[in-house]
Amino acid sequence: MKSAKLDEVRPCLEGAIPAIMATSAVDGTPNVAYLSQVYYVDPQHVALSFQFFNKTRQNLLANPRSTLLVLNPINAVFYRLHLRYLRTETEGAVFESMKAQLAGIASHTGMADVFRLLGSDIHEVIEVERLPQAPLSEPLPVRRSRPHALAALRRASVRLSAACSLGALLHAALDALEHELAMHHAMLLILDPATQRLYTVASRGYATSGVGSEIAMGDGVIGVAARERTPVRIMHMASAYLYSRAMRDSLVSEGSGPAGTDIPYPGLPEPRSQMAVPLLSADRVIGVLFVEGREDMQFGFEEEDVLVALGGQLGAAIDLMQEAEDACEDERAAAPANAAATATPQPAGPALHVRHYRSNDSIFVNHSYLIKGVAGAILWKLLQDRERNGRHEFTNRELRLDASLRLPDVADNLEARLWLLHRRLAEQCPQLRIQKTGRGCFRFEALGPVQLEDVAA
């Protein structure tokens, strides 16, 4: 037997093969039981799922020492872990991550109605032993080829570093996921601090973009990852954590404002694997990076590590883009010819009917829902200024100073909201368009006559 580090054991903790735990009662009577979940906390600790008040539980409370036998499903090497029970957590990042993973394991094994996480038992890992490997009767199956994690992360980082605008940054992130990490179904969501909801600003690999669709903090894999500020990874389908279901529940519970203001969500109809990683900057949650796939166990701990690292850079970059507005006036003065080159075409054709509901700033165009919230308030302001004053040129700064938009004092995400509005107009109402004309400034155009209606409801 040889000693090993806990990091070497991580492939054993993916839930492919149940672990075996040995405990002893106060009188020394041994007890052996199977465990459905062992969770890697850090290089010195693991968390074991507490699901039943059984003999194992009684023994742990009376005698905190135990041993755990785990098997690496890739090379069939056994490891024996010597543990000391420390405490039980019933909330927080570790608990919520284990709860989501256990839901997937339970669903995969047909035990969805039986498995329920009561707590996360935190154990100190005293020693790890690598046991001698007996000769195998037949060769192990060849492991599916995966991108080299560190090299892929380096290339992805280069893509992000080259982006000069929020839109380019979001595209670069989705390109990196698809081409460097073979993650073909992904979404990026930004947190609205005022409403505590996450809204989709970009997606890849779905029939519809779902840009503008929302989910509440704490709902589904995405909402839990944001609320707990921790990655959440599900290796088997778990209906309770489906983004689609969480979306429906979130919309039902909202229950206010004009009807029909939900945007069809993207997402695979029957995903087998999902992972959500919070985007953090300056210790604040900026948004969530979400990926999913059609195969069980498609995302392992290595993919989780890569996405956490990439998410750190992406979160900081998104945060930085919110401040990139200072040079607007200088750029306008330096390039006066550009304004003439982009003169607004004369409106023609049938008028667009734009209805604004004051209760939640929702906007309907020709009776079809377009957008709501702060982005809706921004669009209504642009339309009114265009109609009353003939304006086309705007700056981020003036929007921030406009109290009627009710932007938060800190972390207003204005750049992300403008990007969301730009995408919704491009997809649903190309007669209205926003074009960036420099850092912190943009041009708003209507390519036809517009009729405005303001509704007090």
Residue 341, pLDDT above cutoff 50: no
Confidence of residue 337 (pLDDT cuts 50, 70, 90): very low
What average pLDDT does the segment 246-273 reach?
66
**Integer Cα distance of 448 and 430 in angstroms:** 10
Asked if 23 and 85 count as a contact pair (C-beta separation under 8 A), the reply is no
**pLDDT for residue 272:** 86
Tens of pLDDT, residue by residue over 106-146, are: 655 555 555 678 899 999 999 999 999 877 777 766 666 77
Q: What is the CA radius of gyration of the chain?
A: 26
Global pTM value? 0.81
**pLDDT for residue 287:** 95
Tens of pLDDT, residue by residue over 354-366, are: 999 999 999 999 9
Nearest-5° Cα angle at 251, 270 to 289: 55
**pLDDT for residue 218:** 85
Of 260 and 150, the one with more pLDDT? 150
**Integer Cα distance of 201 and 167 in angstroms:** 9
Reading the block at residue 422, the tokens are 């730009």
The region of weakest confidence among 120-124, 250-254, 259-263, 384-388 is: 250-254
Residue 425, pLDDT above cutoff 60: yes
**pLDDT for residue 237:** 67
Reading the block at residue 215, the tokens are 């989910």
The percentage of the chain sitting over the pLDDT mark of 70, rounded to a whole number, equals 84
**Pairing between β-strand 450-455 and β-strand 352-357 as defined by DSSP bridges:** parallel
**Integer Cα distance of 324 and 319 in angstroms:** 10
Task: Calculate the alpha carbon distances from 143 to 108, 116, 146, 151, 203 in Å.
Answer: 21, 32, 9, 19, 29
Nearest-5° Cα angle at 158, 395 to 225: 75
Most confident of 44-53, 84-93, 234-243, 314-323: 84-93
**Integer Cα distance of 159 and 331 in angstroms:** 26
Of 241 and 30, the one with more pLDDT? 30
**pLDDT for residue 440:** 85
From 316, 345, 329, select the one nearest 394 (Cα to Cα): 329
**Integer Cα distance of 412 and 371 in angstroms:** 17
**Integer Cα distance of 308 and 320 in angstroms:** 18
Of 292 and 107, the one with more pLDDT? 292
**pLDDT for residue 219:** 84
**pLDDT for residue 115:** 66
The region of weakest confidence among 43-47, 109-113, 255-259 is: 255-259
Residue 43, pLDDT above cutoff 90: yes
Q: Provide φ and ψ at 380, rounded to 5°.
A: -65, -40
What average pLDDT does the segment 172-179 reach?
96
From 208, 163, 207, 213, select the one nearest 188 (Cα to Cα): 213
What average pLDDT does the segment 36-42 reach?
90
Reading the block at residue 75, the tokens are 């090379």
**pLDDT for residue 258:** 57
Across all residues in the chain, what is the average pLDDT? Answer: 85
Confidence of residue 241 (pLDDT cuts 50, 70, 90): low
Residue type for position 371: I
What average pLDDT does the segment 78-86 reach?
97
